[in-house]
Structure 1
Amino acid sequence: MNIDAFPQLEIVPVKGPLKGRVVLPGSKSLTNRAFLVAALAKGDSRLSGVLSSDDTVYMAAALRDMGVGIDNEDETTLTVRSTGKLKAPAKPLFLGNAGTATRFLTAAVALADGEVVVDGDEHMRKRPIGPLVEALTRLGVEVSAPTGCPPVTVHAKGGFSGDVVEIDANLSSQYVSALLILAACGEKPVEVRLRGDQAIGGRGYIDLTTRCMEAFGAKVSMPQAGVWRVEPTGYVAADYLVEPDASSCTYLWAAEVLTGGEITFQMDTTALTQPDAKSRDVIMTWPNMPAVIDGSQMQDAVPTLAVLAAFNKTPVRFVGIANLRVKECDRVSALSQGLNAIRDGLAHEEGDDLIVHADPALIGAMTKAVIDTHNDHRIAMCFALAGLMMSGVVIDNPKCVSKTFPGYWDVLESLGVELKHPA
């Protein structure tokens, strides 16, 4: 389907179980980690299973602007050719609303020589980066972000001088990952420490980072909780397989349970190592989901779970989701708004918690809900699930799924879902 021709898309309720085989896109999180680490490794690295989406295209373009060669073999396989050094680009690095690429490159460009500006679109310019800027400053990097959000200007001098850095990671685990990737390129061991006694929400994503680093020769240890020690190994070129995207898989797992369907994938998805893979066990409890769900360790799966909860037998409270307020949009608010568009009073916010007042009677019901996606791919994809179960669900700006899952609507159609332009 040519989504560009559809400013809005209506989901037609399904008449039976969704069945079929789906080839999942590669993980955005792992693709962008592998891109950057391979770019910091001297030699040729072959990456397979990579995702081609808005976020990864921005990362690849930025690396090319800094002298890294990236040659595509096919849609999911490419070679990264690098001297192990980054060159200061001739123009600002524009990264759209790609949070991973923006945070990671803000740290990595310290290894270049000259001024580097890291910038994004109007949405990215509202996403906080101050804690990372503060941490880089303590490592001796000359960096500034006057608004506390991008654009960030780095006066790079080919490296950094510090060996211990403390980071406030309450807003994003990506700050920690950015520092860890940079740290392996130092001249001496570096310790990255969480500030205070923080229980970091995205810990699973930090584990993804360290495993990716280690695949390219880095040595990372945890001498104690909240402290990572990175040896000054640099990186070596390697072949790396990007596993399928667990966050994308959540929509299909949910579609299975909602419709009583059976969807197969190119691998056993229970073997996925990404944090959102943990959500599968929760999804499979529907329609008897837990009364309280802690989303701190599976943040990108929360939108899927929240829409699933709308059709649950009993209400569900989502906790540990404050970080969702500083994603591509304020997802806590966007979810509440979308659910209430389906039925007034279906959800409400309580502090940073989201309470979904489940109503199984919605299955087979009618609504006139136009879902404001806030240009957020996850809001668009999760509310499509509601359209499987009830008529009248319209997704505004459906093409925003291109950020991480460009083929999402095609996949739904391949499983038998009818999509139409609303009357």
Structure 2
Amino acid sequence: MIAAALTDGRTRLTGVPEGDDIRAAISAVGALGARTNGSGDHLEVRGLPDHQGLTGTATGSGDATMVSVGESGTLLRFLTAAAATAPGPITITGSGRIRERPVAGLVAALEALGADVETSKGYAPLTVRPGRFEGGKVRVAARESSQFASALLLAAPRAARGIAIELESDPVSASYLDLTVSVMARCGVAVERPGPRRFRVAAGARYRPGEHRISGDWTTASYFFAAAAIAPGRVTVDGLDPESPQGERGFSEILRRMGCEVTEEPAGDGVRVTVTGARRLRGVTVDMGSLPDAAPTLAAVAPFAEGPTRIGGIGHLRHKESDRIAALAEGLRRLGARVATQDDALAIEPPEGTAALVPGTMDPHGDHRIAMALALTGLRVPGVRIGNPEVVAKSFPGFWDALSQLGARVARREDG
């Protein structure tokens, strides 16, 4: 949607999912000057022509356009960079923990490229004012989020001189940078990669209008794969892209290592994945730095395995909608699992000796992924309760209905 907003022409998207983040993104591209129209899973985006953007002198002034990104850290970063190309000032705010989400590294890079950004001590709310988005060479922090670099790449075709990015370190969530590069290529912009930490978008590169199908989300699929492992049972998910660079594509392979059977077969323009659970699961040690959004899902499976499961490389999950490491540890301990935490890791074991897992009330701490992951434990521990279940609307408002369709008994209680 950000790429489409920076395209001179109409871009048609199909397969657009529902969710609060999507609605926030539609408002965000409107603040950039794009127009949107659509219904169901179809969305048309008419982007802002180049001559109205800031490849030259600023064309807008006056009061800033206010836009909320809700609780989407991704949108916060992407919109901040894209706003540097807009013809008028934009003030970006949000809700939940959005004022705690790191953005200073991105702002520093944007200012080095000619943008004018004012923050609240390095955090949102922030205001991006018209200036000359020159482009050029820039070093970008990458330890906190790969989204700093992704945001700059997405805005690069509107820079006056193109952009050359060098990451200061190996990035967290590196697979998401691959995903950004893939989306840009689909929209007509080639990203050169002269080195493992270097990216370049040439001056004059421009997005092309077109039609794009949004493929199924491997992170969303992970909840159903995990359900098959926990129950145990068998679940099939259609509509996935076998060539997707999304790191969460590797989650089913982790379940295979734990003892599940996993099969893939062509289905339409994608792949159909079936996961069959095993009567006995094995604990695993895995670095999930490249598939961090599936880390809560694996944590929900871990208490049902024989032996410990260690999930490493996830330190940046402490700065999401919640401190996900702490929230997962709290929830799984309520079940009776043994959990040890480190700055960037979780180690999870089932209860000791003959003790069994027990139901409890889980606090998702306002985090959609914590709510969905911990809910899966109820497939083997009847009576698990999730407080504030509405938080799933951020990314997957149909989650509870989908869980019911698998045969789970999901009941809403008036007392929460």
Same fold (TM over 0.5): yes
Separation in 2, partners of 1:171, 1:43: 34
Provide the residue aligned with 1:161 in structure 2: 134
Provide the residue aligned with 2:23 in structure 1: 57
Higher relative contact order (CA 8 A, sep 6+): 1
Provide the residue aligned with 2:207 in structure 1: 235
CA shift for structure 1 position 113: 2.5
Contact 2:81 2:110 (8 Å CA) reproduced: yes
Secondary structure (helix, strand or coil) at the match of 1:83 reads coil
Separation in 1, partners of 2:382, 2:170: 41
Provide the residue aligned with 2:185 in structure 1: 214
Provide the residue aligned with 1:266 in structure 2: 238
Secondary structure (helix, strand or coil) at the match of 2:361 reads strand
Secondary structure (helix, strand or coil) at the match of 2:347 reads strand
Provide the residue aligned with 2:170 in structure 1: 199
Secondary structure (helix, strand or coil) at the match of 2:70 reads coil
CA shift for structure 1 position 119: 0.9
Counting matched residue pairs gives: 383
Separation in 2, partners of 1:362, 1:259: 20
Provide the residue aligned with 2:57 in structure 1: none
CA shift for structure 1 position 114: 3.0
**Higher deviation after alignment, 276-285 or 59-68:** 59-68
Q: 1:360 to 1:378 in 2, by over 3 A?
A: farther
In structure 2, which of residues 348, 354, 364 is the aligned counterpart of residue 356 of structure 1?
Answer: 348
1:281 aligns with 2:253: yes
Contact 1:311 1:362 (8 Å CA) reproduced: no
CA shift for structure 1 position 140: 1.3
CA deviations over 1:265-312 (Å, ceiling 9, x no partner): 333565544111111100233354454210100000000001101111
Separation in 1, partners of 2:180, 2:231: 35
Contact 2:78 2:147 (8 Å CA) reproduced: yes
1:347 aligns with 2:339: yes
In structure 2, which of residues 88, 109, 117 is the aligned counterpart of residue 135 of structure 1?
Answer: 109
Provide the residue aligned with 2:268 in structure 1: none
Separation in 2, partners of 1:269, 1:406: 22
Contact 2:286 2:310 (8 Å CA) reproduced: yes
Secondary structure (helix, strand or coil) at the match of 1:165 reads strand
In structure 2, which of residues 284, 292, 307 is the aligned counterpart of residue 299 of structure 1?
Answer: 292
Provide the residue aligned with 1:21 in structure 2: none
What letter matches 1:119 in structure 2? T
CA shift for structure 1 position 369: 1.4
Separation in 2, partners of 1:189, 1:83: 18
Contact 2:332 2:339 (8 Å CA) reproduced: yes
In structure 2, which of residues 72, 75, 78 is the aligned counterpart of residue 101 of structure 1?
Answer: 75
What letter matches 1:219 in structure 2? A
Secondary structure (helix, strand or coil) at the match of 2:305 reads coil
Secondary structure (helix, strand or coil) at the match of 2:130 reads strand
CA shift for structure 1 position 71: 0.9
What letter matches 2:27 in structure 1? A
Separation in 2, partners of 1:362, 1:267: 42
* TM-score w.r.t. length of structure 2: 0.87
Q: 1:400 to 1:361 in 2, by over 3 A?
A: farther
What letter matches 2:158 in structure 1? C
CA shift for structure 1 position 366: 5.8
CA deviations over 1:5-30 (Å, ceiling 9, x no partner): xxxxxxxxxxxxxxxxxxxxxxxxxx
Provide the residue aligned with 1:403 in structure 2: 394
CA deviations over 1:229-285 (Å, ceiling 9, x no partner): 111212121111111111111010011122232222333565544111111100233
* TM-score w.r.t. length of structure 1: 0.86
Contact 2:283 2:302 (8 Å CA) reproduced: no
RMSD: 2.1
Secondary structure (helix, strand or coil) at the match of 1:223 reads strand
Q: 1:371 to 1:82 in 2, by over 3 A?
A: same
Q: 1:370 to 1:140 in 2, by over 3 A?
A: same
In structure 2, which of residues 291, 300, 309 is the aligned counterpart of residue 316 of structure 1?
Answer: 309
CA shift for structure 1 position 402: 0.6
Q: 1:61 to 1:96 in 2, by over 3 A?
A: same
1:185 aligns with 2:158: yes
Give the gaps of 5 or more residues in structure 2: 54-59, 259-279
Contact 2:33 2:86 (8 Å CA) reproduced: no
In structure 2, which of residues 124, 148, 154 is the aligned counterpart of residue 175 of structure 1?
Answer: 148
CA shift for structure 1 position 109: 0.4
Contact 2:215 2:241 (8 Å CA) reproduced: no
What letter matches 1:179 in structure 2? L
**Higher deviation after alignment, 300-309 or 268-277:** 268-277
Separation in 1, partners of 2:162, 2:86: 20
Provide the residue aligned with 1:32 in structure 2: none
CA shift for structure 1 position 359: 4.3
What letter matches 1:252 in structure 2? F
CA shift for structure 1 position 58: 0.2
CA shift for structure 1 position 202: 1.1
1:81 aligns with 2:54: no
CA deviations over 1:195-252 (Å, ceiling 9, x no partner): 1xx2212111111111111111112110111000111212121111111111111010
Secondary structure (helix, strand or coil) at the match of 1:306 reads helix
Separation in 1, partners of 2:158, 2:353: 57
Provide the residue aligned with 1:252 in structure 2: 224
Provide the residue aligned with 1:418 in structure 2: 409
In structure 2, which of residues 2, 10, 33 is the aligned counterpart of residue 67 of structure 1?
Answer: 33
Matches within 5 A, 1:21-32: none
CA shift for structure 1 position 64: 1.8
Separation in 2, partners of 1:318, 1:384: 19
Contact 1:172 1:323 (8 Å CA) reproduced: yes
Provide the residue aligned with 1:332 in structure 2: 325
Q: 1:391 to 1:82 in 2, by over 3 A?
A: same
Contact 1:373 1:396 (8 Å CA) reproduced: yes
Secondary structure (helix, strand or coil) at the match of 2:306 reads coil
Contact 2:71 2:94 (8 Å CA) reproduced: yes
Secondary structure (helix, strand or coil) at the match of 2:47 reads strand
Give the gaps of 5 or more residues in structure 1: 1-34
Provide the residue aligned with 1:13 in structure 2: none
Q: Percent of aligned positions with the same letter in both sequences? A: 33
Separation in 1, partners of 2:34, 2:108: 28
Q: 1:260 to 1:340 in 2, by over 3 A?
A: closer
